[in-house]
Amino acid sequence: MTEPLLQVRGLTKHYASRSGWLGRRGAATRAVDDVSFDIFPGETLGLVGESGSGKSTTGRLVMRLEEPDVGEIRFEGQTITGLSPSQMKPVRRRMQIVFQNPYAALSPRMRVGRFVAEPLVVHTIGNAAERRDRVVELFRLVGLDPAFMQRFPHEFSGGQRQRIVIARAIALEPRFLVADEPITALDVSIQAQIVNLFQDLRDRMGLAYLFIAHDLSMVRYLCQRVAVMLRGRIVEIGPTEAIFGDPRHAYTKALLSAVPVPDPDIERGRIRLFHDPDQAPPADGVFDEVTPGHLVLR
């Protein structure tokens, strides 16, 4: 059996909150609480849930942009939790992240060709001519005209800016990408194009993704497996068609019931959950395997 490319075990991150005018320490916010999953080479795992469920924090922890309180992250068989910044540098060549907002990701004073080439410079790959050739190749790979390399970010649309950000992310030929809600800030008409680009790059480069998103239709289209998060915990994980076709956790059912039906003559019955907003899934909950690979927290 193929070994996982990424293994996450017991990942936990709590933030101390402050309350009162003296800023006294309050109850900790359990942003990510005992999260475990695997991602295999060439696989896309979708991570879904309501805002504040811990999806983006999970992505940042996996990338070591934040430090977990507890847990282990293994990438390509190597434990990367605890590595120093200098030890992480060669690992970062093989794992990259694409953020939600392409407008914030690009420096307004940097030409986009230089922006895409920057990782090559940081990792001292090639000479100036070789780096320029690589940037030309990357622009073509993401569907942009290399003639645009000398332009500034304000000259591009949101979809074009996200393509530029993706070009930079794949410049070092990584094996794994965290895509942190990469289509949320884009027009609906552009979102499908970017998702198709992710799919094309996966097929061409053998990339694996942790695809964090709100749009469940895009998740169903792109992802082989889906994990559902609620208040810092994964409550259900399994093959995409099992999650969408046979959801077992009450929260998953409610989440899927909110997806619009394209036929205006069909009214989907909404499932509403009435729960304490501060109530997290049980800390001592265990997973039941209802079908092979389909796990539900109880």
- Residue 172 pLDDT class (50, 70, 90 cuts): very high
> Measured between alpha carbons, how far is 52 from 229 in angstroms, rounded to an integer?
10
- pLDDT of 4 higher than 50: yes
> Measured between alpha carbons, how far is 270 from 263 in angstroms, rounded to an integer?
16
- pLDDT of 277 higher than 50: no
Other beta carbons within 10 Å of 157: 12
Contacts of residue 124, Cβ cutoff 8 Å, sequence gap at least 6: none
CA nearest to 106, candidates 169, 63, 61:
169
The pLDDT score that the predictor gives to residue 274 is: 47
> Measured between alpha carbons, how far is 296 from 298 in angstroms, rounded to an integer?
6
- pLDDT of 182 higher than 80: yes
For the chain, domains (ranges, CATH) are: 6-94+172-297 (3.40.50.300)
Range with the poorest average pLDDT among 123-127, 261-265, 275-279, 284-288: 275-279
Query: Which pTM value belongs to this model?
Result: 0.90
Query: Average pLDDT, stretch 34-60?
Result: 96
Average pLDDT in the chain: 91
